Structures are given as structure tokens and as C-alpha cells.
Chains A and B, each alone.
Chain A
Amino acid sequence: MEVMSQPKYTGKRYRLDKPELLAPAGNLEKLKFAVHYGADAVYIGGQMYGLRSNADNFSFEEMREGVEFARKYGAKVFVATNIYAHNEDLEGIEAYLRNLHEVGIAAIITADPAIIEIAQRAVPEIEVHLSTQQSTMNWQSVKFWKEEGLPRVVLGREVSFQEIAEIKKHVDVEIEAFVHGAMCSSYSGRCVLSNHFTDRDSNRGGCCQSCRWSYDLFEEAPSNDVWVSEEDAQDQEEVSASKNGVTPNPLFQPEDNAFTMGSKDLCMLESIPELIEVGIDSFKIEGRMKSLHYVATVVNAYRQAIDSYMADPEHYVLKPEWVEEINKAANRPVNTGFFYDTPDHEDHIYEPEEKATPYDFAGLVLEYNSEDGKALIQQRNHFKPGQEIEFFGPGGTFFKQRVDTIWDEKGNVLDAARHAMQRIVIKVDQPVHYFDMMRCKRK
């Protein structure tokens, strides 16, 4: 029997393989929420060899607990071992990888061939995924890594839809692509601004995000003949005069924003059909440093969009509330990266950065009593009676209400929920569940 293989990226609206939704988890709590809100897999950092040395990062015991939690949902846990190692880093890698295997990690995300080799030799049971730090952008290189035994390649963020389609056409290997979150504006891994400005090694997790700083742009004045050769100059004085004589031209006006390399964040939520149809196997959300609120909200939106498309591709429509939800947890403007076109002047953030998110994560539902309609809430941000709040949960459950009386666990009335992690009780208008979240508008 001849099997016809139909390339996935052509034609319209075939029922396709469901992609994996891969979410970041900066700590164990975030892992649980990412999984509960619908991630098929999460990636985390251990205490060594990962690129976020400032994140909480997982101990092996926490990894074990995370893997067990994820397993109940059929979800996998990956570990980022994505540094470029130095000689001194090499010795402990094998033991570390054995520990990852022992606690049940399904895959590592790796850029440095030194780590790839050790993993393939010492723990062949663990999948090795090639990190975006290798900036893989053409099918021949993807094929190289496949032939090296890697089941998955995370592409460079610079590839377009068309290029991904060509890669999928030429090579049968799992392709992972970033679909949401902050982006290096450089080729990932090809930036040592941090090393130069602050002696922090960006390729070992020390990145201080110098690309988001402000710079002034100048040009050397045209008559400034800096390069006077030894032979041309009669004496040292002449060289110095020629080197230092002319002032450079500023290429900005006093009222202009400063120059920066800082990029808007990636958001491909509005392109779910294209992402699925081009055949991307894993949709990756960036953000091991992001908040619990952010991770749960973003995962929730992508989960619903993917499920909605898969259920009925022909009649899929983007729901505006998915986009609105993400906007409540995000603090940077977004764009579509390189998927459609090379980013231009509308894709960078020249204005002052890091506005606060419009909403705060106010509380976490621990219990719900259907008899009296009261919920036990763990406080995560200040709120008080009269304030408008929103409850949301997996699958897009959502309602708004006002806070009425706030009690402590013993039934004493409180004037406000003031303390972090404080357990309080309020009446809720609709049933809620453990893991549902409560947010309020930032004042």
C-alpha cells in the first residue's frame, strides 16, 4: 500500500496534529499553575547550567514533585541546560544529568554540543532538544542536528512562516518555536553586551538586559580623518591633532527618544491557525522570570485558542476575550516578531519601559463551599470591600463581582485583606475552584 504523505503546510484547514503548548515555570508553584491551566509541557531551570541565574530555580526534590504533579495531567517537564559551558562547568554535568533523569525529567533544552554529547552518552533516556541559542534557521542545519540524534530543534527567533514551512518540507523532526513573550533582539547567544558593561556573562545566565538601556547615536564627523598612518604623519603631534580635532555629530534631537535595541514582546495568539498549519510541533511561551498571574493567564488563552481550532478548524474564530485576558497580565507592547516580516521601527520600544501590568493578582482560591457560597482565598495583593474583582480559571471560566465582607478564618470581619499569604473568606457570586485566581484592577 502506498502511503501518500501530504505536506502539512499546504492546502487549507486540514485536521492536523495537535501541537504541544510549552510553558515556562520559574518555580514549583508556577509549574503547577502552568500545568493546571493547560500546558502540555513545562520547562524549568535547575540550579546549574541554565540561563536564568536570577530565577528561583528548582532543587531536584522540587523537580521530582513537579514531575509527579505534571504526570497526573499527562504533562511533561523539560529542564533548560542552555548555557555555553566553560571548562570549569564540564565536570559536574554528567552527574547533574543523571539526577535529572532520576527525578523524571523528559527532556533537556541544550545549546552547547559539549552538553549534548554528555547527555547522549550518559542518559540516552532523556531527549535532547536543541536550544534557540544555536540560532538554527535553515533546513540543512536542522537536518544536521536531526542526524546528530536530536528529536527536536528550537528554531532561531528570526525565521519566518515561509522559512518554517520550507524546513518542515525538507526535514522530519520536531520543530519548536517561540510564540509568546520577551525576545532577545540579537540572535540569541550572539550578544555579550552584559559581559562588556557589567562583567556578567550573558551566555551563562548573567544577562543584565543591556539591550533595553538607552543609548545616544552619533556619527564621526566626515572630516575627522582618524586613520592617519605612521608613515603619513610627520610626528606624533600631527597624529594627535588629526585624531582628536573634530567633534562627532549627534544623530538625535534633544526631544527625541534615545536609541535602544529593546524589542516589543512576541504575541502570536492571533495567528493560531497559521502556527498549527505550518506544522510547528511545540508552541513555546517565554518567561521563567514572569509572575504566576502572567503564566496562568497566557497559558489559559493559548490553550483555549488551540483547543478551539483543533475542535473545528473550518469555523475557528479568535475570541477577543483571549487577547483581553493576556493584556491584563502583560506589561509590554507586543508584535509578531519575524513570522511575517523583519521587525522595523514599530517593533521596538523607544519610550520608557516597564509599565506596571494593568491588573494585580489579588488572591488564589483554596476552597469553595457550595452551601454558603463562600470561598477561602489566599491573599496575594491588597484588596478591600467594595473593590471590583475578577475570578478566572482554566478553560476560560470568568466572572466579575464586588468584594463584600472580608472575614478571617475564625469569622472575624476584616477592613481589608492586607497581608501576603493571609487566608481570608469572602462570598462569591458563582462557584469557584481550587486553582482559580482572583485579580483586581491596579489603582
Chain B
Amino acid sequence: MVNKPELLVTAGSLNEIEPLINAGADALLIGNDRFGMRLAGNFSIEDIQQAVAQAHARQVKVYVSLQSLLSNDLLDALPDYVKALGNACVDAVEFNDPSVLMAVKTYAPQMKLHWNAEMTTTNYATANYWGRRGANRVVFARELNMDEITGMKGHLEVESQVQIHGMTNIYHSKRSLVGSYMLHQGRPIEGGSLGKERGLFLLEAERPGEKFPIYEDINGTHIMSSDDICILEDLHFLLEAGVNSLKVEGLLKPLSYNETVVRTYRQSIDTYMADPANYKYQEQDMDNIRKVQNSDRELTFGFFYKEQVY
């Protein structure tokens, strides 16, 4: 018998909590821009408290991103923030820097720890390393393929999380690259904001039609993939492999899109769990997602079936 995996989705604001739960999310990932990274929205500590209250009332978990690469000056503010998250009964924090691990163990040891270093957690030994240091779960790099992910089974001493849908970060710099470029052009910061609401993107000459979203915030410059992962067709491989958490990344997507995606995966997971042996992928499920997919962004298998060289 396979354990039922969790369906996790990012939430952009308090208004999105109920609709995403209604759509079928088992857990929500939120956070504050100061400590979190590439968030669908910015939650104050009061917002986080309220999100937890709403979610827990529906037996849904709330995770908070504490994924920033921290500088010394943020360390001073870290204990109070961690304590506040603990007091708010946040279920787990995602982290990317050992300083967060140490702070959570000291100030709110009841909270679970999810290691999420985006592109750099690539093998089970590293996952288990963070497990022995206190992490309960490890989020695998999006650059792993299906064989590598399913091959983790039997080797893992921690829970695993895999992104099944949405965009991914492909480049992160502490530099202000868009702002610097505009200064170089002599047209500083046209229109004020360079944030994610601005709709900035890059094109590369040999890849016409592939739009790479780019934005800046207090964590620097972020460049995102031009495609959206969609593993719906082969979801059963991840379910068979016992992946504990399946994540829908809702960054830069409207609520209605994320609701549709969550609802669709919810249905597929439930159908599979009810009768794994007779589960079959339904093409019409995919149509639900295609209908709301921005035609500029291709739905792909990401790196699940790519051969990479080095």
C-alpha cells in the first residue's frame, strides 16, 4: 500500500487560502519576502497567523519559506521571526541556509524543517545528510530526471518533495541586473518597479518564442524558465515511487489558473489512490489545464525525460 502523498501549492495572498483548499490542496507554501524567496505573494506575520488558522481549521498544513541566502544583518532578525512562526503554529519551514536550521532548532524546535536548495539537492546521500542534521523533508532539484527521482526510493531516510507543475527558477543573482542595464542604457528604471508585477522577460536570439520572465526584488535578480512543468501524464510514476509531497508552483500565475491545476491533480491523485492497479491517465484532465495555459508558455516535462551532459 502506497502512502497518500500531499498536494502542495503556493498561495499569493490570504484571499487565495480558501479557494486553493477548496480546489484540493493538502498544504500551502507562503512566506515573507524578507526571509523567503520567489514567493507567490508577500505575507506579514499577522497574515501568516491568519493563514494558519484558516488552513488548520480545514486540516490543511502551512509551510513558510525561509529560503533566502542570509547575510549577517538578517541573522539578528532571524530568532524573532522563527519564534513568531513557531507561535503561529506553522507546520514547517523551507530552508536553504544552515543558519536557519540552527535557529529553528534553538527557537522553535516543534516546527518541521524542509531542505529546499532549489537546484542543488541532487542525490539521496545529500538528502539523508540534511535529514540527520534535523530536516524532515528534502525538496529535489528540478534538474533531476524521472529515473533519478524514482531511483531515490529505498535510499531515503527523509520525506521527499518534487515539483510537478509550474515554472522554475533558472538563475539567481544578488546583483540588480535589470536596473543596471537600464542605467547603462541611460534610461534608469523606466516605470519604477522591476518587480514581478512588471511582466519583464528576456528573449535569446536562437530561441524565439521562449520568454524567460525576469524580475528584481530585495533578494536580487531572478530569471525563470520559459516553460511550465506539467507531469500530469506521468504522475503515476511519482506516486508509485512514494514521493511524499507533490508541489504546484503558483508563482506568476493567477489564482484561477492555480485552482484549475490543483483541482486537476487532486482528481488524478485521488483516482490513483482509490485503485492504483487500474489507474489510467485521462487526456481530458490535461485539457482542463491546456484551456487555462498561457499560449506563450509551453507545458513540458521539464527535465524529467531530458538527457543532460557535462
Contacts and interface: CB of A to CB of B under 8 A. Distances in A.
Interface of A: 53, 84-90, 111-114, 116-118, 133, 135, 137-141, 143-145, 156, 158-159, 163, 166-167, 185-187, 189-193, 195-197, 199-201, 203-206, 211, 213-220, 222, 224, 226-232, 236, 239-240, 243-244, 248, 251-253, 256-257, 259-261, 263, 338, 342-345, 347-348, 350
B120 A111 contact: yes
Given A137-B70, A218-B203, A190 B172 contact: yes
Contacts of A167: 72
Contact of B257 (A53, A137, A227): A227
B72 A200 contact: no
B204 interface: yes
A220 B171 contact: no
B129 A342 contact: no
B123 A342 contact: no
16 contacts: A113-B125, A117-B129, A185-B173, A190-B169, A192-B171, A196-B226, A218-B201, A218-B211, A227-B294, A229-B256, A239-B292, A261-B171, A343-B180, A348-B175, A348-B180, A348-B184
Nearest to A205: B310
A85 B171 contact: no
A85 B126 contact: yes
A236 B290 CA distance: 10
Nearest to A231: B256
Nearest to B295: A243
Nearest to A185: B173
B58 interface: no
A88 B309 CA distance: 13
B124 A87 contact: yes
Contact of A199 (B103, B253, B309): B309
Interface stretch (B43-51, B84-92, B144-152): B144-152
Interface in B89-115: 97-99, 101-103
A111 B185 CA distance: 37
B15 interface: no
Contacts of B141: 84
Contact of B98 (A140, A166, A244): A140
Contacts of A159: 71
Given A85-B126, A89-B123, A203-B119, A344 B174 contact: no
Given A140-B98, A200-B308, A229-B254, A191 B294 contact: no
A206 B308 contact: yes
Interface in B288-310: 291-292, 294-296, 303, 306-310
Interface in B174-206: 174-185, 190-191, 198-205
Interface residues of B, number: 84
A340 to B, nearest CB: 14
Given A229-B254, A229-B292, A90 B97 contact: no
A103 B113 CA distance: 40
Contacts of B180: 343-345, 347-348
B257 A85 contact: no
Contacts of A218: 200-203, 211
Given A140-B102, A144-B101, A191 B202 contact: no
A118 B126 CA distance: 11
Contacts of B221: 261
Contacts of A116: 129
A251 B183 CA distance: 12
Contact of B126 (A113, A215, A248, A344): A113
A139 B99 CA distance: 8
B170 interface: yes
B255 A229 contact: yes
A171 B180 CA distance: 34
A234 B103 CA distance: 50
A86 B260 contact: no
B157 interface: no
Given A186-B173, A220-B199, A138 B204 contact: no
A191 B310 contact: no
Of the candidates A135, A192, A205, A344, the one having the most CB atoms from chain B within 10 angstroms of its own CB is A192
Contact of A138 (B70, B200, B211): B70
A86 to B, nearest CB: 5
Closest 7 A/B residue pairs (Cβ): A229-B256, A206-B310, A220-B199, A114-B125, A140-B99, A227-B254, A144-B98
Contacts of B226: 196
B99 A240 contact: no
Given A87-B151, A156-B69, A185 B177 contact: yes
B97 A138 contact: yes
A338 B174 contact: yes
B2 interface: no
A243 to B, nearest CB: 5
Contact of A141 (B97, B175, B225): B97
A217 B116 CA distance: 30
B253 A86 contact: no
A229 B16 CA distance: 14
B199 A219 contact: yes
A185 B181 CA distance: 14
Contact of B291 (A204, A217, A236, A256): A236
B260 to A, nearest CB: 6
Contacts of B129: 113-114, 116-117
Given A112-B126, A114-B126, A226 B70 contact: no
Contact of B170 (A192, A213, A228): A192
Contacts of A85: 122-123, 125-126
Contacts of A191: 119, 170-172
